[in-house]
Structure 1
Amino acid sequence: MNKPPRHRLVPTNVAALAVGVTEATIRKWVTRGKITRYGTPGRLEFDIEELTEIAIRRQP
């Protein structure tokens, strides 16, 4: 039986570095629904592939 793909998760500070924004911006994007939040309460984590897609779209 095939398992669904697992998300490769990174913490907020790495997510911010990956996209080139501040940690506060990452948290705002979560509340606005722009990015998916994973992890447990008190520990935000983000899918590196989703972050990569956002970074590519943000490039001029």
Structure 2
Amino acid sequence: MLLLSCVLAPKEDVEKPVKPFVFLLRFALGVLVATWFVLVPIYMWLKDQVVPKGQPI
């Protein structure tokens, strides 16, 4: 018999659904944050490729 090292708690009982406005607000915030974390490193990498070291933009 295989013993599990972690046992999951029972699922939370959700009584009422999430309001559409709240869902869209959270979704938009998540998309904004994900875009930020993807685009900022790409921008910095491109800037380092184009601008010589030690030169301000």
State the TM-score, normalized to the length of structure 1: 0.31
Structure showing greater Rg: 2
- TM-score, scaled to structure 2: 0.33
Relative contact order higher in (CA < 8 Å, ≥ 6 apart): 1
Bigger share in strand: 1
Larger % of helix: which? 2
